[in-house]
Amino acid sequence: MTIDYNAKMPEKQDGTQVYNTDPLIVKSHYEIDYIHSYAQDSEFFRAMGKKKLMGSKCKKCSYTYATPRSHCMMCGAETEWYELPKEGRIHTFTTCYFGSEAFLKETPFNLIMVEFEGVDSLFMSRLIGAELEDMKVGMKVRARFKRNLEFSPTDVYFVPVEEK
Amino acid sequence: MGKLSRNVYMVSGGVTKFTKASPDMDFRLRVKKAFDYAMNDVNMELKDIDGSVASYFSDHFQRQLMSGVMVQDYLGLTPKPSRRVEGGGATGGLSFQAGVEEIASGRMDTCAVYGFESMSHVNTWKGNEFIALASDTNFDYPVGGFYTGYYAMMAARYLHEFGATVEQLAQVSVKNHKNALSNPYAQSPMNLTIQDVRNSPMVSYPLTRLDVCAMSDGAAVAILADEKRAFELSDNPVLVKGIGSGTDTMRLADRPFGKVPLLAHEKESDYKNLKYPGVHSFRAGRTAAAEAYKNAGITNPIEEIDVVELHDAYTSSEIQTYEDLGLCKYGEGANFVSEGKADLKGKVPVNPSGGLLACGHPVGATGIMQAVFVFWQLQRTIKKHFGNDKLQISNPKRGLLHSHAGTGTYVTVSIMEAVK
């Protein structure tokens, strides 16, 4: 028997941050690290280390994807990896002046959807080297890759291409 | 795909006033307020409810999973059947339709659909992060991480594709904020000019702060019933004439460039050179409309619908949605608003309540709120519930409600019809 009739919970010194007392509003903290697998998309992230932008091509109906997916949305068949051209054109664009908390420090940043000749779908990326007033639908852009990979889709980004 | 197998009616509704933050109530009490309002309006008691559907979007905002059963519990509805339905911004519309299906299938004779979201538990930028997690976390979230950014790219392409202007987008904001001046439930009623909208801080080009809805705390409840119970409970129930829903790819990048799925009043030659949907239109919205119209027997929506509450999380989405709903042809949406056709006194009033832009957008509650406002319009009871009749459309016969999730991934369209 180890009964202790005078048992006491140890006190903590952390306290709680209080914003308001009526109603009582307190700070509640939460954070988590995920063990995120890129699974069937892994090759896309690895290929950027070789300065390659990989999309997908359907083995059955030949539909091509600028953003990879391992099965075709048109016919359901398996796709194969397909190297995209380095140059494309702006399909649409924006400049974000605000954003999610995780990205606020990066604002303002440009987002574009890139279209590649002969490829049926688009690719979303960041564009640097141009301001809002410089970006136009149809503008030629080129992929560049970071040297130190973060294994994030931001390992590739686009810059404007001078057109003569 | 066919019609509902038995008639479903909405018999009552309730909404809390949407606010930026109401920490004096939690989600359970908020739903309770809207629920009691709806129950009292038709003198229902808890024993009259067969079951429910819980409508809420994110577990992140409250860091509370199973919020649905906590509401069920708080309302006193345990041990009756209930389930949660979730589909991003369209959560409310999908839940409403799930409730309709409970009645149509014969499983339940009465069903309470309750929606809620308490977004004030985190700051706006953290909230944007939570919402952005509803984009592909392999390819889209790490690049943009911001839903307004995604919609802004759709809006920019829309402007390019159809030659619309940012001032025309702003007109949606002016209209909806103005309508809300007479809606006591609205979060941000405002008298604005086009210049006010354009001069407010740019969030993501071309969308300014006033082109974008706010985050909110709020709740809304719709009570549905079969024909027998509906007329026992109310002398003025409203028939759910048809429902439809559609989906599209999670990633904007994957949207195809094909042909427009035509509505009954459209011809292939209307859209000879249009690549559809691309990123300028919402194919799920068109799909939902086509199904709902077929079931409701609507062949010319602009002539057969008298009031619309649609998902205007962004001014651009309202314009894009006019077209998906066939209120005008693709490419004519911007002129539809600038010619006043969507005004309170226009051809078909769109968002007479003020919409999401002015009422706020507590995600899970939003689609239910739209159902309640359309229901009151068709009951012709706006005066009773708003305390004034400035927003009452005169003798509306048929109303449309439209609920929409991130970049048009899930969209629902439901048609309601006055029977009295």
Sequence-ordered list of residues with C-beta below 8 angstroms from that of A59, at least 6 positions apart, any chain: A77, A78, A79, A80
The verdict on residue B37 lying in a domain is: yes
The sign one gets for the Cα dihedral B144, B57, B365, B126 is negative
| Residue B220 CB-half CA count within 13 A | 33
Inter-chain residue contact A94 with B205, CB threshold 8 Å: yes
B185 token code pair: 């439930």
Rounded to whole angstroms, what are the CA distances from B179 to A76, B317, B385? Answer: 46, 18, 16
pLDDT tens digits, residue range B218-255? 999 999 999 999 999 999 999 999 999 999 999 999 99
The verdict on residue B94 lying in a domain is: yes
Residue B104: which domain range?
A: 8-123
Residues 10-69 of A with CB under 8 A from B: 20, 23, 25, 28, 30, 36, 38, 41, 65-67, 69
Q: Cα–Cα distance between A119 and B308 in angstroms, integer? A: 38
Tell me: pLDDT of A123 over 80: yes
Inter-chain residue contact B144 with A97, CB threshold 8 Å: no
Rounded to whole angstroms, what are the CA distances from A108 to B147, B195, B251? Answer: 15, 23, 22
B267 token code pair: 């011809």
Chain B, nearest residue to A120 by Cα: B256
| Residue B372 CB-half CA count within 13 A | 33
Tell me: pLDDT of A164 over 90: no
Which among B123, B129, B254 has CB closest to A65?
B254
Predicted local confidence at residue B22, as pLDDT: 95
The single-letter code of the amino acid at B51 is G
Total domains present in chain B: 1
Nearest to B152 by CA among B133, B138, B169, B167: B169
Which among B125, B128, B156 has CB closest to A93?
B156
Sequence-ordered list of residues with C-beta below 8 angstroms from that of B139, at least 6 positions apart, any chain: A41, A67, A124, A153, B251, B253
Q: Cα–Cα distance between B208 and B214 in angstroms, integer? A: 12
Q: What is the interface size between A and B, counted as CB pairs within 8 Å?
A: 128
**For the domain that residue B68 is a member of, what is the CATH number?**
3.40.47.10
Predicted local confidence at residue B179, as pLDDT: 98
Inter-chain residue contact B153 with A28, CB threshold 8 Å: no
Inter-chain residue contact A67 with B253, CB threshold 8 Å: yes
Q: Return left, alpha or beta for B354; rule: phi > 0 is left, psi -120 to 50 is alpha, else beta.
A: left
Q: What is the DSSP letter of A11?
A: P
Under 8 Å between Cβ of A99 and B128: yes
pLDDT tens digits, residue range B251-291? 999 999 999 999 999 999 999 999 999 999 999 999 999 99
Q: Is B148 touching A (CB cutoff 8 A)?
A: yes
Q: Return left, alpha or beta for B282; rule: phi > 0 is left, psi -120 to 50 is alpha, else beta.
A: beta
Inter-chain residue contact A101 with B123, CB threshold 8 Å: yes
Q: What single string gives the DSSP state of each residue in B278-311?
A: TTTS-HHHHHHHHHHHHHHT-S-HHHH--EEE--
Inter-chain residue contact A122 with B23, CB threshold 8 Å: no
The verdict on residue B416 lying in a domain is: no
A154 token code pair: 């931001």
Predicted ipTM > 0.85: yes
Rounded to whole angstroms, what are the CA distances from B43 to B12, B39, B52, B230, B327? Answer: 10, 6, 18, 12, 38
pLDDT tens digits, residue range B294-351? 999 999 999 999 999 999 999 999 999 999 999 999 999 999 999 999 999 999 999 9
pLDDT tens digits, residue range A29-70? 999 999 999 999 999 999 999 999 999 999 999 999 999 999
Tell me: pLDDT of B377 over 80: yes
Which among B123, B202, B251 has CB closest to A67?
B251
Q: How far is CA B331 from the centre of its chain?
A: 22
The structure tokens 């439930």 sit at B185
Q: Cα–Cα distance between B24 and B77 in angstroms, integer? A: 23
